[in-house]
């Protein structure tokens, strides 16, 4: 991957658009990025990383916080990178989530994050991607690396590339896992563990299921060794022995079931024999008991013979009385007809008298209707009816006009009121419109005053906020001053201790050389021959003290450098805030600034009250405008309504005048008496009077016709009544004669039948309802006598015993046999059920055992691999760590090639010893010192040595990852800081190692403040800082001919 052009807009300290042309920079193999602290050197790395992967180069910097504080609100933050991979160019653009000024109105609006990737394939087809997920996937496909891998290979951010060297084993594992995408090895390792645990759980589950099945086995009570019952009492049960015991018990249960079945069948035969004997004896006992009951019944029948004889005589008397019943009924019929005729004769006589009276009444009333007085009343009624018929239509019209007058009079009054109301409303609206126009005129310039005051207040808030930040920076400067004094004191002490330690080491070297002198030898220290050998006791641990002093001095220097950087940052921010204050207020000093703020604060309170008043007046103006518009609209509507109301009033008044004229004319035509009647009765009363007169006339005519018809009818009824009376007298005499003859004949028949008087016959006939029951009772008695006699004869011939058999003992014997048979049958069912259930359980147990053995075989194989892969081995090394250790070995091998060249003394080595306390091992790093021939902790290296080791390791990691990535083109490397800890000789060696990379086609960019680098590297990309933001300037260091 080779960057071609980087464009940054409102990104970090760059306020506008900043373009870096890497095509121009790439003409020099190594270039330096330099500039003051905070100018934006690392921001260039952040922009490249953000463009490619959407995140910054350092872990502490986030894309959402990369917007420039110097940028104006209308410019969007954006990064665009053009890069080349395998001779194909790509353009990627990203914008973070940010806020910008609204296009209309005040305030800010949020702009969502945006990304775009564009490239052209070999056929010239243009591809564009705008979704974040698609771009991330496509970038990994194009570059072949993830964000973390890219940072470790192409970009070594400030403070980041030491992590792999100084990290502990666990942190180093996480770093290597991310770089080499080793999650798949961890997943494989965990999958082995999960599979092993799963198989173990499945085996335990099968065991539990088997135990549940075993608990359901049914065993015969037995303590014999090897029996199923004895096996089930053991804590551990051998499966094969259990299977054999179940089969043996099943065999025994089947044999026992056959025996019980045969015994049940034998008992069944005995029960059938006993039941047959019992049945015959029961029949004999029943016949003997039946004979006794028949004999007892014969005795009862003999006792009833006299009663039955009396009932036979009673039935005979009733039958004779029934034979005489037609004679009695004939007499009753004739007597009934005679009495009915006498009653009809009496009724017809009374009716004739009533008809005669009615005839006389009708004759009188008919005579009255023909009199003179009646005819005069009729004529008067006819005249009244005729007059009413003429006057009622006139009265109805008059009444209609009267109602119309009332209605129109009310309407005219209402129209007049409405017209007057509209006139008043029109006057009131004109007054209101005048008032609202006056309010609008008075508040015409109010909005301009309000806007000016709001701008003034916003400017006050802005200045106050900047001043508060400036004061905070002042406090920070004062605090830093105290901290700086302490740091300088510590550094002085550390420098003094370091010099003492150096002198002590030199003294130890001298003592070491003199300790080997013999008498007369030349001293390698002073060159004399009279030096005495040194005492070994004078030497102490100077080298260790020197290392501690050097580390302490390095820490103090780093603290000083960090302090200087922080101080520069704070001073820069403070100066920028001061310049901003001066620009906003145009004052010349701090005191003037305080006076300015005090004055502005006082004016702010006054302006705030004015603003409240302006806002109230603004609201009143708005309400007045709304009301004015409303009143003007209403005034137009009222004016139109006034004209319409006047027209409506004139129309209704004209109609009212017409009604009044017609009413006066009609009133002269109507008779006075009917006008009075109209007022007292109303039109309905007059119509009711007319209807009543007509009805009375019709009723009189109808009554006269009815009298004539009634008279004719009464004469006919009177004649008919006299004829019927004569007939009834003749028929009554004839019926009386027949009745006497029938009574004489009935008396003779009673005496012949044995009833001396009628009362004896009546008593017999009263019992007629009992005759059927008496005959049935007599018949049943005789039939029962015959039946009982025949049954007694038959039973006497069949019964051979005199006393009944004893059946209780024999029934108990049968019941005992039934119980024995039931016990044997139940035992057969239980044994067969137990055999069936045990066979089913045995099949389940065999299947589960086969499955368990299969799972156990798998578990025994997989668990070994799982334990080894998860670190349960002699070296406590997991599979993932084993693979990562191999990667680490490759990285250390490549790193040592450069570290040896830079130091000539140290090489890095992976620690293979097992760590204590059971922790996992395999990724610890130690350093081998060629001077001492021993290994020691990486933490014992000095600051400069640590940087060399970290740089060597970072470069080695870059090459190893590139090799494993396969086919990835990595044509540029960026290194951020770290060279300040090196002495001149080490710096030369480090630069030589870096320059060695250019022979492999890499272009290298370095960020550093080290002056020696500025002298050694001619190509420079300078980042310049100004109060309005930073910008870049490239200096190639080439002559005109070289360019």
Give pLDDT tens digits for 146-187. 777 777 667 666 555 667 777 777 777 877 777 777 778 888
Pairwise pLDDT comparison (119 vs 246), residue with the higher score: 119
Contact assessment for residue 25 and residue 6, using Cβ atoms and an 8 Å cutoff = no
State yes or no: pLDDT of 624 exceeds 50: yes
Contact assessment for residue 910 and residue 924, using Cβ atoms and an 8 Å cutoff = yes
pLDDT at position 920: 62
State yes or no: pLDDT of 985 exceeds 80: no
323: closest CA among 740, 774, 743, 752? 752
CA–CA dist 228, 248 (Å, integer) = 8
Give pLDDT tens digits for 402-417. 777 777 788 878 877 8
CA–CA dist 978, 999 (Å, integer) = 23
Q: How confident is the model at residue 654 (pLDDT cuts 50, 70, 90)?
A: confident
Q: Which residues make Cβ contacts (< 8 Å) with residue 978, sequence separation at least 6? A: 158, 161, 162, 947, 950, 951, 1008
Dihedral angle sign, alpha carbons of residues 441, 443, 445, 448 = negative
State yes or no: pLDDT of 917 exceeds 60: no
Superfamily of domain 165-189+877-967: P-loop containing nucleotide triphosphate hydrolases (3.40.50.300)
Contact assessment for residue 90 and residue 83, using Cβ atoms and an 8 Å cutoff = yes
Pairwise pLDDT comparison (628 vs 682), residue with the higher score: 628
Please state which of the ranges 24-38, 222-236, 713-727, 859-873 shows the lowest mean pLDDT. 222-236
pLDDT at position 680: 53
Please state which of the ranges 67-81, 158-172, 893-907 shows the lowest mean pLDDT. 158-172
Pairwise pLDDT comparison (1006 vs 685), residue with the higher score: 1006
State yes or no: pLDDT of 889 exceeds 70: yes
Question: For the residues 604-611, what does the mean pLDDT come to?
Answer: 68
- The average confidence (pLDDT) of the chain is 76
CA–CA dist 200, 205 (Å, integer) = 9
Question: For the residues 612-630, what does the mean pLDDT come to?
Answer: 72
State yes or no: pLDDT of 741 exceeds 80: no
Burial 551-560 (b: 16+ CB within 10 A, else e): bbbbebbebe
Token digits of residue 836: 């069936």
Phi and psi for 521 in degrees, rounded to 5? -70, 150
Q: How would you list the strands of the sheet with 934-937, edge to edge? A: 906-910, 925-929, 934-937
Per-domain boundaries in the chain: 1-144+970-1043, 165-189+877-967, 210-282+816-862, 325-370+675-718+731-752
Burial 144-168 (b: 16+ CB within 10 A, else e): bbbbbbbbbbbbbbbebbbbbbebe
Token digits of residue 978: 């770290």
CA–CA dist 1013, 819 (Å, integer) = 117
CA–CA dist 186, 745 (Å, integer) = 141
774: closest CA among 325, 324, 323, 318? 318
pLDDT at position 11: 92
Give pTM, 2 decimals: 0.41
pLDDT at position 80: 95
Give pLDDT tens digits for 252-309. 878 888 888 888 888 888 888 888 887 887 777 777 777 788 878 788 878 888 887 8
CA–CA dist 863, 872 (Å, integer) = 11
pLDDT at position 8: 94
Question: For the residues 587-597, what does the mean pLDDT come to?
Answer: 66
Superfamily of domain 1-144+970-1043: P-loop containing nucleotide triphosphate hydrolases (3.40.50.300)
3-state SS, residue 154: coil
pLDDT at position 587: 64
844: closest CA among 210, 370, 262? 210
Q: How confident is the model at residue 1041 (pLDDT cuts 50, 70, 90)?
A: very low
Give pLDDT tens digits for 98-152. 888 777 766 678 888 899 999 988 777 888 999 988 998 898 888 877 777 777 6
State yes or no: pLDDT of 450 exceeds 70: no
User: How many other β-carbons are positioned within 10 Å of the β-carbon of residue 196?
Assistant: 21
Which residue is associated with the tokens 């009816």?
A: 385
Give one word for 1001, left, alpha or beta, with left for phi > 0 and alpha for psi -120 to 50: left
Contact assessment for residue 531 and residue 455, using Cβ atoms and an 8 Å cutoff = no
State yes or no: pLDDT of 474 exceeds 90: no
Q: What is the DSSP string of 430-473?
A: HHHHHHHHHHHHHTTTHHHHHHHHHHHHHHHHHHHHHHHHHHHH
State yes or no: pLDDT of 1021 exceeds 60: yes
State the Cα angle at 764 between 303 and 328, rounded to 5°. 160
Phi and psi for 90 in degrees, rounded to 5? -130, 145
Return the percentage of the chain with pLDDT > 70, whole number: 78
Please tell me the number of Cα atoms within 13 Å of 720 on its side-chain side.
8
pLDDT at position 679: 57
pLDDT at position 153: 66
The CA radius of gyration of the chain, in Å to the nearest whole number, is 70
Domains 1-144+970-1043 and 165-189+877-967 share a fold: yes
State the Cα angle at 258 between 254 and 264, rounded to 5°. 140
Question: For the residues 559-570, what does the mean pLDDT come to?
Answer: 82
Give pLDDT tens digits for 361-395. 777 776 666 656 566 666 666 666 666 666 666 66
State yes or no: pLDDT of 520 exceeds 60: no
Packing angle between helix 590-669 and helix 542-585, nearest 10 degrees?
A: 50
CA–CA dist 14, 4 (Å, integer) = 20
User: How many other β-carbons are positioned within 10 Å of the β-carbon of residue 93?
Assistant: 17
pLDDT at position 95: 92
CA–CA dist 666, 671 (Å, integer) = 11
Contact assessment for residue 43 and residue 67, using Cβ atoms and an 8 Å cutoff = no
Q: Which residues make Cβ contacts (< 8 Å) with residue 422, sequence separation at least 6? A: 638, 641, 642, 645
User: How many other β-carbons are positioned within 10 Å of the β-carbon of residue 64?
Assistant: 10
State yes or no: pLDDT of 808 exceeds 90: no
According to the per-residue pLDDT averaged within each range, which of 26-40, 81-95, 854-868 is highest? 81-95
């Amino acid at each position: 991957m080779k960057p071609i052009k980087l464009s940054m807009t409102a990104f970090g300290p760059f306020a506008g658009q900043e373009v870096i042309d890497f095509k121009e920079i790439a003409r020099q193999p190594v270039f330096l990025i330099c500039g003051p602290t905070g100018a934006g050197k690392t921001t260039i790395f952040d922009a490249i990383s953000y463009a490619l992967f959407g995140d910054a180069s350092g872990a502490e910097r986030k894309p959402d916080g990369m917007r420039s504080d110097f940028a104006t609100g209308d410019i969007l933050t954006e990064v665009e990178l053009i890069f080349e991979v395998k001779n194909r160019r790509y353009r990627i653009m990203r914008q973070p989530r940010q806020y910008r000024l609204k296009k209309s109105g005040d305030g800010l609006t949020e702009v969502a994050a945006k990304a775009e990737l564009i490239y052209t394939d070999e056929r010239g087809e243009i591809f564009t991607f705008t979704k974040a997920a698609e771009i991330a996937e496509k970038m990994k496909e194009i570059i072949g690396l993830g964000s973390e891998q890219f940072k470790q290979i192409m970009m070594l951010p400030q403070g980041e590339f030491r992590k792999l060297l100084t990290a502990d084993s666990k942190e180093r594992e996480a770093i290597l896992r991310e770089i080499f995408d080793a999650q798949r090895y961890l997943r494989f390792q965990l999958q082995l563990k999960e599979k092993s645990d799963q198989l173990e759980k499945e085996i335990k589950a099968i065991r539990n299921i088997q135990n549940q099945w075993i608990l359901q086995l049914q065993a015969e009570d037995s303590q014999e060794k090897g029996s199923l019952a004895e096996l089930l009492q053991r804590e551990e049960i051998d499966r094969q022995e259990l299977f054999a015991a179940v089969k043996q018990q099943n065999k025994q249960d089947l044999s026992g079931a056959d025996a019980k079945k045969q015994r049940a069948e034998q008992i069944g035969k005995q029960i059938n024999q006993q039941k047959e004997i019992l049945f015959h004896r029961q029949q004999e006992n029943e016949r003997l008991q039946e004979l006794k009951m028949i004999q007892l019944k014969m005795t009862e029948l003999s006792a009833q013979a006299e009663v039955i004889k009396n009932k036979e005589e009673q039935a005979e008397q009733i039958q004779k009385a029934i034979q005489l019943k037609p004679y009695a009924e004939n007499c009753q019929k004739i007597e009934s007809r005679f009495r009915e005729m006498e009653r009809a004769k009496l009724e017809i006589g009374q009716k004739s008298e009533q008809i005669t009276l009615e005839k006389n009444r009708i004759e009188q009333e008919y005579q009255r209707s023909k009199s003179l007085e009646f005819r005069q009343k009729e004529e008067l009624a006819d005249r009244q009816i005729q007059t009413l018929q003429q006057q009622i239509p006139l009265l109805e019209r008059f009444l209609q006009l009267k109602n119309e007058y009332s209605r129109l009079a009310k309407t005219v009054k209402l129209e007049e009121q409405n017209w007057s109301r509209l006139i008043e409303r029109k006057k009131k609206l004109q007054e209101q419109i005048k008032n609202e126009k006056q309010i609008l005129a008075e508040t015409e310039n109010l909005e301009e005053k309000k806007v000016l005051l709001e701008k003034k207040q916003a400017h006050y808030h802005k200045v106050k906020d900047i001043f508060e930040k400036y004061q905070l920076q002042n406090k920070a400067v004062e605090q830093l001053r105290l901290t700086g004094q302490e740091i300088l004191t510590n550094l002085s002490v550390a420098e003094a201790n370091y010099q003492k330690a150096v002198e002590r080491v030199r003294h130890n070297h001298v003592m070491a050389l003199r300790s080997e002198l013999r008498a007369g030898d030349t001293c390698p220290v002073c060159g004399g021959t009279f030096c005495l050998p040194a005492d070994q006791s004078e030497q102490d641990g100077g080298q260790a003290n020197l290392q501690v002093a050097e580390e302490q001095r390095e820490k103090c220097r780093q603290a000083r450098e960090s302090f200087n950087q922080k101080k520069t940052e704070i001073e820069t921010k403070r100066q920028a805030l001061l310049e901003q204050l001066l620009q906003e207020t145009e004052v010349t000093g701090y005191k003037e600034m305080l006076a300015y703020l005090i004055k502005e604060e006082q004016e702010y309170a006054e302006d705030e009250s004015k603003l409240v008043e302006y806002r109230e007046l603004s609201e009143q103006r708005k309400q007045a405008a709304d009301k004015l518009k409303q009143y003007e609209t209403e005034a137009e509507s009222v004016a139109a309504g006034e004209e319409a109301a006047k027209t409506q009033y004139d129309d209704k008044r004209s109609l009212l005048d017409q009604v009044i004229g017609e009413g006066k004319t009609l009133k002269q035509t109507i008779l006075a008496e009917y006008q009075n009647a109209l007022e007292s009765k109303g039109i309905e009363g007059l119509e009711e009077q007319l209807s009543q007169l007509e009805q009375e006339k019709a009723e009189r005519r109808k009554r006269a016709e009815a009298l004539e018809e009634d008279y004719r009818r009464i004469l006919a009824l009177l004649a008919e009544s006299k004829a019927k009376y004569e007939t009834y007298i003749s028929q009554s005499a004839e019926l009386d004669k027949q009745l006497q003859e029938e009574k004489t004949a009935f008396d003779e028949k009673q005496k012949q039948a044995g009833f001396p008087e009628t009362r004896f016959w009546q008593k017999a006939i009263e019992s007629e309802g009992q005759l059927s029951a008496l005959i049935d009772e007599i018949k049943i008695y005789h039939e029962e006598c015959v039946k009982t006699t025949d049954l007694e004869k038959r039973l006497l011939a069949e019964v051979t015993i005199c006393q009944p058999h004893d059946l209780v003992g024999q029934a108990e014997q049968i019941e005992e046999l039934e119980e024995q048979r039931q016990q044997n049958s139940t035992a057969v069912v239980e044994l067969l059920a137990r055999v069936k259930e045990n066979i089913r359980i045995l099949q389940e147990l065999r299947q589960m055992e086969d499955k368990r053995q299969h799972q156990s075989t798998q578990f025994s194989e997989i668990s070994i691999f799982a334990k080894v892969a998860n670190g349960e081995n002699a070296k406590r090394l997991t599979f993932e760590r084993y693979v990562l250790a191999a990667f680490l070995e490759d990285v250390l091998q490549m790193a040592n090639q450069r570290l040896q060249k830079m130091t000539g003394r140290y090489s890095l080595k992976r620690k293979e010893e097992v760590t204590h306390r059971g922790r996992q091992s395999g990724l610890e790093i130690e350093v081998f010192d060629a001077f001492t021939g021993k290994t020691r902790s990486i933490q014992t290296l000095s600051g400069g040595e640590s940087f060399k080791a970290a740089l060597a390791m970072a470069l080695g990691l870059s090459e190893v990852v590139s090799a494993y990535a396969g086919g990835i083109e990595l044509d540029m490397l960026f290194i951020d800081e770290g060279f300040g800890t090196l002495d001149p000789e080490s710096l030369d060696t480090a630069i030589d190692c870096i320059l060695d990379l250019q022979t492999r086609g890499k272009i290298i960019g370095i960020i550093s403040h080290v002056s020696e680098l500025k002298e050694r590297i001619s190509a420079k990309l300078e980042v310049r800082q100004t109060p309005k933001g930073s910008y870049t300037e490239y200096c190639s260091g080439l002559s005109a001919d070289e360019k």
